[in-house]
Amino acid sequence: MSLTVIGLNHQTAPVSVRERLAFPAIMLAEALTALGSETEIAEAMILSTCNRTEIYCIGDAATVIHWLSGYHQLPLAEFSPYLYQFHDKDAVQHAFRVACGLDSMVLGEPQILGQLKEAVRTARSQHTLHQHLNALFEKTFAAAKEIRNESAVGENSVSMAAAAVKMAAQIFPDISALNVLMVGAGEMIELVATYFAAEHPQRLTVLNRTLARAQELCSKLNAEADARILTALPEILAEYDVIVSSTASPFPVIGKGLVERALKQRRGMPMFLLDLAVPRDIEAEAGELNDAYLYSVDDMVNIVQHGQAARQQAAAAAEKMVASKVAEFIAWQQTRSSVPLICALRTQGEELRCKAVAKALRRLRKGTSIEEVLQRLSHELTNSLLHAPTRALNKDSRQHPELAEAISLIYHLHGQNRQR
């Protein structure tokens, strides 16, 4: 079984495809357990964000793809053209690039590293992460921290959260005169709410399934904000000019009909709706309504690319650092993989030594001279240690000429062969 990454992201698939293969947080533990039960999968971790769904595993790629199809009840033909696969060294490089933000919509953005760490924590809690993937991600996180600190890849970036405010300002120039509604209370909403709070909107409200979590988020904002339960959405939606939604719901929480009723109550006042969730929170058909300006994650590309040119130079330096770190990891991994063989070789050598010493002691007890015992001990020990390589050369060197080269290298015989 090899290290494999299978996934799709904002570069290979539109949000309409990504949302069908997404794993909302409430489904992730169950999905990992199901994937881990596959006989061809030894270890697994699932990373699912608004921009990507990726499965990192020690196992068979075909098994993973067919499992994805079955789990999401989605025919292979509908998503396989959007998938990418990486194996072994390429998989390591991809993991490092993702952690550094080099594969993100916003080049160098820091949120992905936190999302990756959370995905690893979830996999560990479900016992689907073991020796190989644990080693990979420990090295990945260490490399990402070093590369981010030593390169400028994350500087001058426009985050998704900052872009949300810029997009709203294109429709409503004065944010301070607006009523802003946040639907959800996760990490993304917290970031967006922080940016909107800095603009001091007229009203800022956080809706969430649990009121306590909404209240907790409101307390973190440097602005007045009120918390409401998500079930209040239908009765209050019309009061808000800006709605930003990012929940973990597998189904839309804001339907076209709900938006249509809210717009009628607003009597021609426009409504800006930003859907940052994957799967989407807001029905796409709502964007067809007059005065409804609906945007998804994919619509934010142009804004978040601001400052991209300045970061590209830093990214080139970061890519070189990634290549160096990948080479270090592969070398470390190869050294680590030889440890069991070294242990087995030393164990065998120790067994041969013990047998030879036991024979020598028996001869001494029988009165054999020390000189003769030592001679026979050294002779038998030499024969025992060299028996396996000598037999291999005599038996297999014609079919496997590399054996002779390997044994010459191990016993430093190249110079002696040339002299002869």
Catalytic residues: 50
Of residues 179, 115, 137, the one with CA closest to residue 329 = 137
Pairing status of strand 41-48 against strand 52-59? antiparallel
CA distances (Å), origin 96, targets 113, 177, 396, 402? 10, 43, 42, 35
Rounded CA separation 9/237 (Å): 32
User: What is the C-alpha radius of gyration for the chain, rounded to an integer number of angstroms?
Assistant: 31
CA distances (Å), origin 352, targets 123, 129, 348, 366? 44, 39, 6, 22
Contacts of 367 (CB under 8 A, 6+ apart): none
Which residue has tokens 């070189």?
320
Rounded CA separation 195/213 (Å): 19
Contacts of 249 (CB under 8 A, 6+ apart): 24, 277, 279, 281
